[in-house]
A and B are shown apart, each in its own frame.
Chain A
Amino acid sequence: MPIVVKGLSFAYSKGTPFEKKALDCVDVEISDGQFIGIMGHTGSGKSTFIQHLNGLIKVQSGEIDVDGIHLTSARRPKPDYKKLRSTVGMVFQYPEYQLFDETVIKDVAFGPKNLGLSKEEAFARAAEALRLVGLDPDEIGERAPFELSGGQKRRVAIAGVIAMRPKILILDEPTAGLDPYGKEQIMSLICRLKRECSPTVIVISHDMDEITRYADRLIVFSEGRVAFDMPMQELFKHGQELEAIGLELPSCVSIADNLRLKGIELGDDIVNMDGLAKAVVKAARERGIECGDIASVRWYGEEGE
């Protein structure tokens, strides 16, 4: 079942002199199986928005439906928060800072245990989750999380969320602070998790070039509102408005736009590097230049998987 958000507004420190509006009448619908990118500069409301989706922030006004669970400002009936949190997995920024247990396997099993599973079941799920994020539970399961490298720690933290088998996976800047190779690996991991475990994925990102390689829809927040929510081909025609709210066009789109000004038309449906590469190949062939096909533009080849 999809996620439906209607008229959601929220203010921090409501009713005090420090009251600060964070969300202002937000309407969003997200269907099952989508890969959503959420963008917006710091303070635009995107983190407040995602924290509503698994009940970390209680609704002040408006309503939310997540996989059949209804969230409103009413106290009763109380929503099934346990079910909500196993349905919507949330990976925060720098999740590796939240590892706490003595061993990796115990840390990852913490979530499923809290869902009420037996110790054996919880550990089995934890082992499965570790394998899903590309770690060997036999090798690192009994080690202390703090002995691992930064990239491994982040994977363990993601495994802790995956162990609850969420249908919807939300990640807040999952590649922040990683080196380029680590970024590539985490983004490939997220694609694998989408295929094998959590069909709906929502990622907050600051990097247009990165997110357009993966997402099939972008939702842009500004000043607590949804500023843009439309197909990317349409969205990137609003370059100036995006710039006004602190977002740059993906470099592939600005390249295509600038070439258009010089009289070379590559088409107006380019949203990422793959699209630009294919358009260049097509344009070259139309001009009688021979060249091979480009399936996708990657740097590390298949080993990034």
Chain B
Amino acid sequence: MSTAIGLYGVSFAYDTEEEGQAYALKDVSFEIEKGSFVAVVGHNGSGKSTLARLLNGLLIPTVGRVKVFGYDTCDEDTIYEIRRRVGMVFQNPDNQMVASVVEDDIAFGPENLGVEREEIIRRVDNALASVGMSDYRKSTPFRMSGGQKQRIAIAGALALCPEVLVLDESTAMLDPKGRAEVMGVVRRLNREQGITVIHITHYMEETLDCDRVIVMDGGSVALDGTPSEVFGRGEELKRYKISPPYVTWLADALARAGLDIDRAIYTREEMEESLCRLLSKD
């Protein structure tokens, strides 16, 4: 498998008035495989959002290198190529709309790149179909639900034909229905179109079927593995102020009471199976 994005010894410091430089990221290195679905979690202030902004050159590392398909984000000649390939969707659905009609909003990106009109129309069609919003092409985004707005924002990113989508807490402000809509769309894009997804979130349920979960703490990578590897590290997770799904809380409590339950359980199905096994014994 080839690497989509690689971070090599990346540190990032914000300039502050009082204390000089404050490091938000410290010596972070990892590679993200093309086509993978990666979740990034961490409590507020752990460096997640800074990380997101480094992935397409919105921020440039203070120390170290970020490479996107081999291009270095500090190279000004290729930065637009990087931004085209790495689309971003942010937290607040209301802050990302640039036009009052859906199709204009989605066409904004390719128009700015000077894409041919016929091609723009094709891309808008495809992008809307990919997020299941084809019926809304002439509507205004302002009266839509949060989930619909975020799908429009994703379509806006798709119109640039990106290879990577970075979602920076894009589900945080949505209700459960909106979250399910957005996650459904993103999973499909990952599976059917092979788009690499980096999903930053506080909702642990959204990380359960990811290929990989990266836990950030204090500006560094604290844990990095599959969901079952990560959620099995109970005591460490507590230290990083991460809370796994409620099912893992329950498994942890039952195991501590001395019952034969695996602490790393994180899905309902596994919990049901373990309880069945435990309580079927006579």
Contacts and interface: CB of A to CB of B under 8 A. Distances in A.
B258 A255 contact: no
B70 interface: no
A65 interface: no
A116 B276 CA distance: 62
Given A150-B44, A277-B253, A264 B202 contact: no
A266 to B, nearest CB: 8
Q: Among the interface residues A179, A180, A252, A300, which one has the most CB atoms of the partner chain B within 10 A?
A: A179
A182 B42 CA distance: 12
B254 A181 contact: no
B275 interface: yes
B117 interface: no
Nearest to A263: B280
B121 interface: no
Contacts of A262: 272, 276
Contacts of A264: 275-276, 279-280
Interface string A156-199: 00000000000000000000111111101000000000000000
Given A181-B241, A280-B254, A284-B279, A254 B259 contact: no
B243 A181 contact: yes
B257 A299 contact: no
B73 to A, nearest CB: 27
Interface in A30-88: 41-42
A181 to B, nearest CB: 4
A289 B281 contact: yes
Give the contact-size bracket for chain B: 35 or more
Contacts of A273: 246, 249-250
Interface in A240-299: 246, 248, 251-252, 254-255, 258-259, 262, 264, 273, 276-277, 280-281, 283-284, 287, 289-294, 297-299
A128 interface: no
A16 to B, nearest CB: 16
B247 A290 contact: no
B258 to A, nearest CB: 4
Contact of B238 (A252, A277, A289, A300): A300
Contact of A292 (B177, B238, B257): B257
Contact of A289 (B172, B253, B259): B259
Contacts of A300: 238, 241, 243
Given A42-B145, A184-B243, A248-B176, A179 B44 contact: yes
Given A251-B246, A284-B278, A299-B249, A179 B272 contact: no
A179 B241 contact: yes
Contacts of B258: 290-292
Contacts of B45: 149
A137 interface: no
Contacts of A182: 43-44
A177 B204 CA distance: 13
B242 interface: yes
B119 interface: no
Contact of A254 (B253, B268, B276): B268
Nearest to A185: B241
A297 B43 contact: no
B271 A255 contact: yes
Nearest to A261: B272
B96 to A, nearest CB: 16
Given A207-B176, A293-B257, 19 more contacts: A149-B45, A179-B44, A180-B242, A181-B241, A246-B176, A251-B247, A252-B246, A254-B268, A259-B272, A264-B280, A277-B250, A287-B279, A289-B278, A291-B254, A291-B257, A292-B256, A292-B257, A292-B258, A299-B243
Interface of B: 42-45, 91, 145-146, 169, 172-173, 175-178, 202, 204, 238, 241-244, 246-247, 249-250, 252-254, 256-260, 268, 271-272, 275-276, 278-282
